[in-house]
Structure formats: C-alpha cells, structure tokens
C-alpha cells in the first residue's frame, strides 16, 4: 500500500472536515470543505483508500498546494 498526499488547489479556510481518520474514502469523495471568497470548495480524495492522517483543523487557513491529509491507497 502507498501513502498518497492530498493537497489543496486553492487558498482558503478549512470550513468543515467531512471524514475521520480510519474511514474509507472513494476517489473524488470529499475529505474536507474549504471556504474561499464566500464559496465552499470540497477537497477530494485523488484515489480510493483509507484516510490515515488529517494535517489541518477546522478554522485553519491553507494555501494552494498545502498537504491537508494522507490516504493509504
């Protein structure tokens, strides 16, 4: 099994974390929701796997390219 980093595509605030560590996630399934310019943008899993680590908390500010989670694929 490989560990895959999940990165943000935009700068924003972590509005809500949708899944928890240990949960299974499907490709393109939302892991967390970012708020940017009053829009809610999901950060999706790049492939199927199990969430092994979340590196941010609700309310954190992230920039484009920030690793926010890791998936065991």
CATH of the domain at 9: 2.40.50.100
Record the pTM: 0.90
Domain count, the chain: 1
pLDDT digits (tens, 9 = 90+) for 13-71: 999 999 999 999 999 999 999 999 999 999 999 999 999 999 999 999 999 999 999 99
- Tell me which residue of 11, 10, 50 sits closest to 31, measured CA to CA: 50
Q: How confident is the model at residue 1 (pLDDT cuts 50, 70, 90)?
A: confident
Domain region containing 60: 3-72
pLDDT digits (tens, 9 = 90+) for 5-19: 999 999 999 999 999
Q: Are 8 and 43 in contact (CB under 8 A)?
A: yes
C-alpha to C-alpha distance for 27 and 70, rounded to whole angstroms: 13
């Amino acid at each position: 099994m490989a560990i895959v980093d999940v990165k943000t595509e935009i700068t924003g605030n972590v509005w809500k974390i949708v899944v928890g560590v240990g949960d299974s996630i499907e490709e393109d399934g939302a892991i967390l929701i970012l708020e940017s310019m009053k829009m809610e943008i999901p950060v999706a899993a790049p492939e199927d796997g199990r969430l092994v680590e979340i590196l941010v908390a609700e309310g954190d500010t992230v920039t484009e390219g920030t690793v926010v989670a890791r998936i065991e694929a």
